[in-house]
Amino acid sequence: MRTQFKAIPLPLRELVAEIDLPADMPKEMKRLLTEPGNMYEFVKEMIQFTESLTIDQKKFKEHLK
């Protein structure tokens, strides 16, 4: 499945310019929207991001605001 996900391009950085993102957007979310180049990288970043939110509830609450 990893191979299939790596084959799916996800050009978010072409669709979302970092300069257009809100200044107060958490850096983890900015990275999620600007760095992944394919579906595998996006899912991997999303899982890491979710794990960090689970560990640090304060960040989670900030993201909900």
Question: For residue range 7-63, what is the model confidence (pLDDT) as tens digits?
Answer: 999 988 888 888 888 988 888 888 888 889 999 999 999 888 888 776 666 666 676
What pTM did the predictor assign? 0.71
What DSSP line would sit under 2-65, residue for residue? HHHHHTSB--HHHHS-GGGS-TTS-HHHHHHHHS--BHHHHHHHHHHHHHHHHH-HHHHHHHH-
